Amino acid sequence: MKVDEFEKKINYKFKNKSLINLAFTHSSFKNKKNKNYERLEFLGDRVLSLVISEHLFLKYPNENEGALSKRLANLVSKKTLLEVANEISIKKMLKIDQFEKKNLKFENKDNYYGFGWSHNSGKPGIWSEGPMSTLFFRTDKNYGDLKLEILCQPYITKKNNISELDIYINNTFNQNLKLTKNNQDEKIEILINEKLIKNNEIKIDFKFKNLVSPYEVLESPDSRKLGLLVKNIKISPV
């Protein structure tokens, strides 16, 4: 999707076109200046919270701070923002790196993580956070059927002794998984039929069930709803 088409879709005209291009440049996308949207993301998160807070403050003059905070948390949640992003087709604007052309595989890179992922406090890997997490891939050509292998560790506690999730490929159900190994690595294999690949783009959605946070089980002050700690990703032709 071109910038002018996106502007029509959201009914807004950007004054600085370079900023809108930068806002959709993922850290994996190779460019001469090596710039991406991460600094704008840092600023945008704060601006969004401020704008929504002001709107709620004026719209609900009789509500207390607690009620307003709940409304704010809901409106700026990853789930709500993902719904808005899908509605305005942000995925079509994203600039994400292609696969390596020679062997079509990559390992230990965080370049393909979309929505619903969070840091691991300086340690290897990246956590899925919240009810849905997404991976995005884009190929330079049609490679036929693909196999995605994910080395991960499910977040298992006494409260949830099983990590259950559904996997979707470009919005088509793929499989249901029930992971039970506590503090042990598991390998997830996802077969991607080439018929599901649209315009050389692949979106993998992980939809989690019965998530808990470390705070809920008195492990730490961490309030994030954790699903999988992804340590390694590899994709290759079948």
Looking at this protein, which amino acid is placed at residue 30?
K
* 99-105 LR contacts (CB < 8 Å, sep 24+): 99/137, 99/138, 99/139, 99/140, 99/235, 101/140, 103/236, 104/139, 104/143, 104/146, 104/235, 104/236, 104/237, 105/234, 105/235, 105/236
Higher pLDDT, 217 or 199: 217
- Give the tens place of pLDDT for each residue, 60-95: 999 999 999 999 998 988 778 888 888 888 877 877
Determine which helix (DSSP H) or strand (DSSP E) holds 5, and give its type and residue range. Answer: helix 3-10
Task: Indicate the SS3 state at residue 236.
Answer: strand
CATH number of 3-92: 1.10.1520.10
pLDDT reading at 41 higher than 50: yes
Q: Average pLDDT of 163-188?
A: 91
CATH number of 117-237: 2.60.120.260
Residues facing 137 on adjacent strands:
202
- Give the tens place of pLDDT for each residue, 159-175: 888 899 999 999 999 99
Task: Indicate the SS3 state at residue 231.
Answer: strand
CATH 1.10.1520.10 boundaries in the chain: 3-92
Between CA 202 and CA 5 the distance in angstroms is 22
Is the pTM higher than 0.85? The answer reads no
CATH 2.60.120.260 boundaries in the chain: 117-237
